[in-house]
Amino acid sequence: MNKKQHNFWRFLQYVRPYWKYVAVGVIGGIVKFTLPLLIPLVTQHLLDHVYLNPALTLEQKLHELFLMVGGLMLIFVCIYAPFTYFRHFCTGKAGHQSVFDLRCDLYYQILRMSASFFQQHKSGGIVARLINDVALAQNLVGSALTNVWMDTVAIVVVLFFLFRINVPLTFVALSTFPLYLYLLKKLGRQIRISSHRVQEELENISGNVQEKVAGNIIVQAFNQEEKEMCNFNHDSERLLGTSIRSLFLHSLNMTMTGTLTKIAPLLVTLFGGYQVIRGRMTVGGLIAAGMYLNHLYFPLERFSELNVVFANSMAALDRIFEIMDQQPEIISKPGAPVLPELAGEVQFEKVSFAYNPDHPVLHNISFTVHPGEQIALVGPSGSGKTTIVNLIPRFYDVTSGAIRVDGYDIREVNLPSLRRQVGMVLQDPVLFSGTIRDNILYGNPQASKEELLQAAEAANALDFISTLPHGFNTEVGERGTMLSGGQKQRLTIARAFLKNPRILILDEATSALDSESENLIQEALERLMVGRTTFIIAHRLSTVMNADRILVVSNGRIIEHGTHAELIALRGAYYHLYTRQYGADDPSPQPYSRTLLS
């Protein structure tokens, strides 16, 4: 089984729970397309045996006319109408339910992916697969799983009636079939490849647009509107070229099949007229055959359209299952034990790490942090500070060595149970669209109203929340755009309070803030750090002077460690960092007090 067939069968697993809806849709479609086949039969009977029959009286002819036409009308009202409704409703329901399940599984798979996946894929491209590609896949339910069956049955029934009317005429009607099937196969593969390229270009342009829309302030601040417009035009031109190629193949497919289905009736008319003139066929038979040809070639033309739909949908499925087949790099081992509540000891044992095997980032890092200790990591940008703390919640796995919490190797324990006990407050506070309440409760969705208020108060957020017109129900906007930087950071601290982690990571949590906001946040962080093992990353050394220990990181190595006073006395790398910031040998800036101000 090739990849195309494999992905199709995988998609059918999502349709299988709703097979009853598909079955009803197929039956409804068969009824919808076969009942009208009675019309040519009745027309032939009326022409050959009623209208032109001199043996029948006027009353008999009218009685036969109203009886047969009235009967057909009754059949259409009582049978055709309800079956047509169920054909569309049940097919649509099966399609929507199937893609609902597929989209949920794909989204869950995306959420499970490791940090490296999001570094390699643009967020807009991921969203395009989740929304656009899944929507294209839905067409398979209506086309491949229902239309193909009812069209096949319709063709078989039409051929049955045509063979009854005139066998030679039927073979004339089928004379264009071989060329039709050849075109269907020949163009199908090219259409699928072209469709795949269109969707890749759409993913690329979606990713770029989402980045620039999210960073529109930077675009305007640096007067880069013209440049970004040129980039967008370039991407759009590539998409346009690929789309036109796809359109060319689609149009060629429709043109060739449409031409064949129009030539065939002319051949039938030519041969059928000859048969009537020679007395080998009745006029009613020829007219009925002509009417049946419409029912024969309509599903054939739709098969051609199905070829395009199938190609587009299968290209989308290939892209969907490409993500579904990727395994997260960071997962829990089968049967991994759940971590008990931690005391908070963290050990790095000869840890080395590389994002790329050719470019190691950390080299032989070893240190131990005791429960409740505050450890600061300082050093120049790019030295590896953030990489060190990102290894603790297993956003990445060490290349060599081990990290232990309370003696447990973090690679050997249940991953969610580890991350439940690690909290993070980052330099760039991340909030989601929704209310202030929603964002704080992200730390603990089961928290009570009292716990919510306590967390907001401890984070120095309650005062500003109380001044808002809707309080905790205030919408924060996308990424918290309705709030100031200090307000957003206080909400993330409140979220961390609700999570109540044993290990806390503060990555530049007070940088880029005004002095008033910084003081409020520092007070909140002091409360948050009490009794927790805390890792603090900071460039401003005044924020880490009271840490129990300071680790100086340079080029992926710990080159110094000790208290602030010890490192100043050592007059090494930390001393030079300090004097570059403050220009003095003696500590002139006042460190933040560890006395709670609540």
What is the domain partition of the chain in residue ranges? 15-207+236-324, 338-421+506-512+534-598, 426-500
Q: Look up residue 135 and give its two tokens.
A: 């929507």
The pLDDT value recorded for residue 598 is 28
Would the CA dihedral through 32, 37, 42, 47 be positive or negative?
Answer: positive
Q: Supply the pTM of this predicted model.
A: 0.71
Rounded-to-integer distance, Cα 145 and Cα 136, Å = 14
Are 419 and 390 spatial neighbours (Cβ–Cβ below 8 Å)?
A: no
- Structural fold of domain 15-207+236-324: ABC transporter transmembrane region fold (1.20.1560)
The pLDDT value recorded for residue 4 is 60
The pLDDT value recorded for residue 425 is 86
Using CA atoms of 236, 237, 242, 247 in order, give the dihedral in degrees to the nearest 10.
90
Q: What is the pLDDT of residues 439-468, one digit of tens each?
A: 888 888 888 889 888 888 888 888 888 888
Provide the b/e sequence for 295-326 (b: ≥16 CB within 10 Å): bbbbbbbbbbebbbbbbbbbbbbbbbbebeee
Q: What is the pLDDT of residues 158-187, one digit of tens each?
A: 888 888 888 888 888 888 778 777 777 777
The pLDDT value recorded for residue 597 is 30
Q: Please give the CATH superfamily to which domain 338-421+506-512+534-598 belongs.
A: P-loop containing nucleotide triphosphate hydrolases (3.40.50.300)
Residue written as tokens 């997260």?
A: 328
Amino acid identity, position 167: V
Rounded-to-integer distance, Cα 205 and Cα 235, Å = 6
* Burial grade of 497 (CB within 10 A; 0-12, 13-18, 19 or more): buried
Rounded-to-integer distance, Cα 508 and Cα 425, Å = 8
The pLDDT value recorded for residue 535 is 93
Residue written as tokens 């956003």?
A: 395
Low-confidence ranges of the chain (pLDDT < 50): 587-588, 592-598
CATH number of 426-500: 3.40.50.300
Residue written as tokens 């490409």?
A: 322
Rounded-to-integer distance, Cα 346 and Cα 372, Å = 10
Give the contacts of 415 (CB within 8 A, at least 6 positions apart): 330, 331, 332, 336, 394
The pLDDT value recorded for residue 364 is 93
The pLDDT value recorded for residue 375 is 93
The pLDDT value recorded for residue 594 is 42
The pLDDT value recorded for residue 487 is 84
Are 405 and 340 spatial neighbours (Cβ–Cβ below 8 Å)?
A: no
Residue 177: C-alpha distances to residues 106, 183, 265 (Å)? 41, 10, 13
* Helix 19-34, helix 81-112: angle, nearest 10: 150
CA angle, residues 440, 445, 447, in degrees to nearest 5:
85
Cα Rg of the chain, angstroms: 36
On the question of a common fold for 338-421+506-512+534-598 and 426-500, the answer reads yes
Three-class DSSP category at 369: strand
The pLDDT value recorded for residue 595 is 36
Residue 538: C-alpha distances to residues 507, 543, 563 (Å)? 7, 7, 15
